[in-house]
Structure 1
Amino acid sequence: MSAQHEQHPLFLPLVFVGGLIFGFGLGFSHMAQPEVVLNFLQLSDLGLLFVMGGAAVVTGLTFFGITFVRGDAPLTGAPYARRLKSLDRNVVFGGAIFGVGWGLSGICPGAAYASLGVGNVVILYGIAGMFVGAYLQGVVRSSPLGEDSSASAAD
């Protein structure tokens, strides 16, 4: 967020409420259970496809429609704009690593936290792995040997 846009006092509480709703939805739809996700990845239960598809439709319609109603974000005042990311080597490798981690743990990062709420304490190993991986990625990208360290600050 740029210095010219002041954050609304309700920004963080609404982010928290949004996270609670997201976590509740994941728990309610059983998507916080790695077994359900692994069954989806093995194409034996396609329920996750409907959950993700429904979320994508609601999000797409909201983002498409809100730009006609408002020119800026209500809580930050920042203008709505597309963030384009080029398809480069980092995107491909990062996506592959994310996919392997998702397949091995049976859960994506957002659902991993919700999974704690349904009693899956073993997922703490996966969450620790996510933090270690993110830290190592930051170290590699910020080192002088990191290919495009100037672009990583903008990501």
Structure 2
Amino acid sequence: MDLQAQVQFLIDNAPQDGITPQLVAAIAPELIKIAQQLRFPEYYILQNLEHDWVLTTLSHRTNPRQLRQVIYAYPTLQDVSTTSGVGLDPQMIAAPMGVIEILFQTIALEPVDSIIFFNIPGTTANAVEIKRSQLQTIIQRSLQQNRPSPNIPPNIA
């Protein structure tokens, strides 16, 4: 599914609360810009059986007490099984998701520091890390510049 179709899917499936579809439409250009920096329109996200995304805790090389929570996005199903051991754990599944939905959901995932997109099948080299805080800043700036409706609070991101 192309990026514009992914945005439309998010809008169509957003809660019809009068705010969320407008919010998605307002930030869509920024989400598309970020998604265009990635190689694939869809990635696999490791999830538990309740469909919660699996977080990986990373520690800093020189300061092991400095921790951060990341989510890995894999380009193929084979990459998930070879790098995560998902095939060994019946409590884990790898679900394909559109990159726009991944970015949109990442904005609100409080415990997540970054999402790491692996862009070359068969290797974890050349990954692209997108920090949630950077994503939130981009979205906030976009909403301040192009506020679509008085119903959307300025601090939504």
Q: Pick the structure with more helix per residue.
A: 1
Q: Pick the structure with more strand per residue.
A: 2
Structure 1 length normalisation: TM-score?
A: 0.28
Rg larger in structure: 1
Higher RCO, 1 or 2 (CA under 8 Å, sep at least 6)? 1
Structure 2 length normalisation: TM-score?
A: 0.28
